[in-house]
Amino acid sequence: MFYSAEQVADLSTQRFEFLKVDFNANVLRLTLNRPEKKNAMNPTLLNEMAFALTHAKHNNNVWAVVMAAEGNVFCAGADLLSFAGAATEMSSTIPDPNEPIRLVEVFATLYKPCIGRIHGPVYAGGFMIVSGCTHVIAVEQATFSLPEVKRGLWPFQVMAGLMNVMPHRTMLDLCMRAGTITAQQAKEAGLVTQIVANVDELDAAVTALVDDIKQYSPAAIRKGLEAYYTMQSKQGGELHNYMFEMLGKTLETKDAQEGLKAFMEKRQPVWTGE
Task: Render pLDDT for 175-215 as a digit per residue (tens, 0 to 9).
Answer: 999 989 999 999 999 999 999 999 999 999 999 999 999 99
Total residues found in the chain within this entry = 274
**For residue 239, what pLDDT is reported?**
64
CA angle 43–46–51, rounded 5-degree value: 125
Q: Is the same domain home to 227 and 98?
A: no
Both ends of the chain: CA-CA distance in Å?
23
**For residue 259, what pLDDT is reported?**
84
Count of domains in the chain?
Answer: 2
**For residue 89, what pLDDT is reported?**
55
Sign of the C-alpha dihedral, residues 166, 143, 77, 133?
negative
**For residue 85, what pLDDT is reported?**
60
Q: Is the same domain home to 100 and 171?
A: yes
Q: Is the same domain home to 64 and 130?
A: yes
The mean pLDDT of 9-13, rounded to a whole number, is: 92
Tell me what percent of the residues of the chain surpass a pLDDT of 90: 70
**For residue 81, what pLDDT is reported?**
73
CATH of the domain at 142: 3.90.226.10
86 has pLDDT over 70: no
246 has pLDDT over 90: no
188, 213, 238 - which closes a domain: 213
Domain extent, residue 106, equals: 19-213
* pLDDT tens digits for range 125-157: 999 999 999 999 999 999 999 998 888 888 888
Q: Is the same domain home to 232 and 137?
A: no
CA angle 183–143–171, rounded 5-degree value: 75
